[in-house]
Amino acid sequence: MDQYRTTWGLVGPDTVWPTIGSFIGDAASEGYAGVEFPLAHLAFEDPDEARAIAQVRDGLAENGLNVIPLIATRPADYGSAADHLSEFRRQAGVAAQLGASKAVVHAGADSFDHETAVGYLRDAGRVAEDHGILACMETHRARLLNDPWRTARLLDAVPDMLLTYDVSHWHVIVDREPLDLMDLFEEAARRSCHVHARIGHEKGPQVPHPADPIWEGHVAHYRRWWTIARDAMMARGAGFTVTSEFGPPPYLQTRPFSGERDADLVEVNRWMRDRLEEWFG
């Protein structure tokens, strides 16, 4: 198992680390195999994208870390597949310059019809392959893989597609303990090439703190799904890569009016990292 550390909520103004470079050094000291970050976070490193790419690439090499970039397209016309693909092509080029071999992808828009969705996923997969990158399409709200039912149809239509498995999003969409949907959750796990380890629940994509015994049953479900994902990746001869991905507010709960956080984001992700090591290390 290779654990990656996310910059989400931890890098940038008024956070823990001001730049990706400073974050990389700390991730290396804590024993992570690599880092994961949205490509938009390169702006925290340097306003000049070329300099930022070079600085981050050098920092990764100096610390012996790998990188899994997050490609998230959000064109002005959110419903335009052509605009999403154009932006995807640009970001895939940046990911390749960073030396990535795989990328998390927030793919397209949930408003695409089935034919458009299939065409987009095929085209994006080819673009990524041309750049030497494995595109791991994330099961994410507001995107093409928004829910388990549509994802199942798209997995059938695009048989070589692999996923970033984050079913905390689906947990909200289905709005129930998904006992009647286990076959869909498990098949998606078998088609995964990366895991985002975050525990969701029926009313939100992130429990306040996964160590709270009230969430024991939810943690058990996620551990089962991640085990299936791990086993499938290993059976394909690929390494098991996973990112503890609890995020900042509004994912992280806060107190009314004061905005005081109910938990420490760094500590929550460390707790999740330690459980993953205990289960899969």
**Model confidence over 219-276: pLDDT tens digits?**
999 999 999 999 999 999 999 999 999 999 999 999 999 999 999 999 999 999 999 9
In angstroms, rounded to a whole number, what is the distance separating the alpha carbons of residues 187 and 173? 18
| Beta bridge partners of residue 208, listed in sequence order | none
Residues of the chain with pLDDT > 70, as a percent, come to 100
Looking at residue 181, its pLDDT comes to 98
* Residue with tokens 């093409």, as numbered in its chain: 144
pLDDT digits (tens, 9 = 90+) for 33-89: 999 999 999 999 999 999 999 999 999 999 999 999 999 999 999 999 999 999 999
Tell me the one-letter amino acid at 63.
N
Looking at residue 132, its pLDDT comes to 98
Q: Any idea where the domains of the chain sit in the sequence?
A: 1-60, 65-129+141-155, 166-281
Mean pLDDT across the chain, nearest whole number? 97
Any idea what DSSP says for residue 281? -
pLDDT digits (tens, 9 = 90+) for 88-134: 999 999 999 999 999 999 999 999 999 999 999 999 999 999 999 99
Q: How many CB atoms lie within 10 A of CB 9?
A: 18
